[in-house]
Amino acid sequence: MNLADLRARLDAVDRTSLASRPTPLLRMPRLQAALGPEIPELWVKLDEQTGFGLGGNKVRKLDRELAPSRLQGVTHLVTTGGPQSNHCRVTAAAAARLGLGCVLVINGAAPDPPTGNALLHRTFGARIHQVADRAAREPALQQVSAEIEAAGGRALVLPLGASTALGAIGFVEALVELHDQMGAAPDRSIHLFVSSSSGGTLAGLWAGLALLDRPDIDITAVSADTPAPQLRATAERLAAGALERLQFDAAQLAAVAHRIDVRDDQIGTGYGQPTEASEEAAELLATSEGVLVEPFYTAKAAAGMITAVRDGQFPAGDRVIFWHTGGHPALFR
């Protein structure tokens, strides 16, 4: 792949620049020492530091989803998630920045008084439309959108997690960013570990892998709640859409499919619920590197990485990178 051509195509996709880029890539030598001798180099990609609205991976997606060309005539942003949704937090912050109204369709009750992201949803000025469960979200999105239009407004409805083909382009760009930071290392394999649920982040990384000449990189997505086959299928569909939007052949995904591993062995009892392994991972990252992760979502990917390292899945000369997708407010839920 001609990297200059890829950069040009990424730059040609309209955006609202919310994310601070590039985010830091740092060694984790003390975590490496804590896990024992003769293990790979451990690194962290701090996408918690995308900056806007307390950061995280959703900001990269919203850069494209909220491009000026998509906001013409829009008066409200409408989206959905759980009471502690990072995506809802950043969407509410973006609406405030852009001078738009915001309605969040939230399944499940927030703490009373609200804490963590539930507090921030309200702090950013969003109106909360509460529904009983996940099944009720889509009808409620359509209802809220219709009410806004009946009142003379226009709603832009953002899917769960901003996980769309357009949003995934933000993570094609993110993998190019990592490529620039790591440099070429053909004799040292690089293993990325990333949290995944709605599939958009994984989709962008998968599409980026298909476009970059980096046979040394593979990706492990650790599911927070979705069964692995379903998550993989969703990510592949979104990745294909991202490639098509960039005017590349989606068939290129198949050539790197063997380097995409989707695991669901860290889910535990479900979304938003910690596990013993995720709590240990959160503690290890905090005490060895001063890196904070909440134990409900992001730390499940860290737990997957730690398990793989302890099991000796990678030789000592390799590099293992934990892609930190953010979510700090959940520490205060």
User: What is the enclosing helix (H) or strand (E) of 306?
Assistant: helix 298-310
C-alpha–C-alpha distance, residues 71 and 75, integer Å: 8
CB neighbour class for 280 (10 Å; exposed up to 12, middle 13-18, buried from 19): middle
- Residue pair 242/9 in contact (Cβ under 8 Å)? The answer is no
* Identity of the amino acid at 234: T
Q: What is the dihedral of CA 108, 51, 53, 57, to 10 degrees?
A: -30
For residue 156, CA distances in Å to 142, 159, 175, 304 come to: 11, 10, 28, 36
For residue 160, CA distances in Å to 171, 273, 282 come to: 16, 19, 25
Q: Is the dihedral of CA 172, 238, 194, 251 positive or negative?
A: negative
Task: Indicate which residue of 85, 163, 189, 197 is catalytic.
Answer: 85
Please confirm, yes or no, whether 198 is among the known catalytic residues: no
> Catalytic residues, which ones?
85
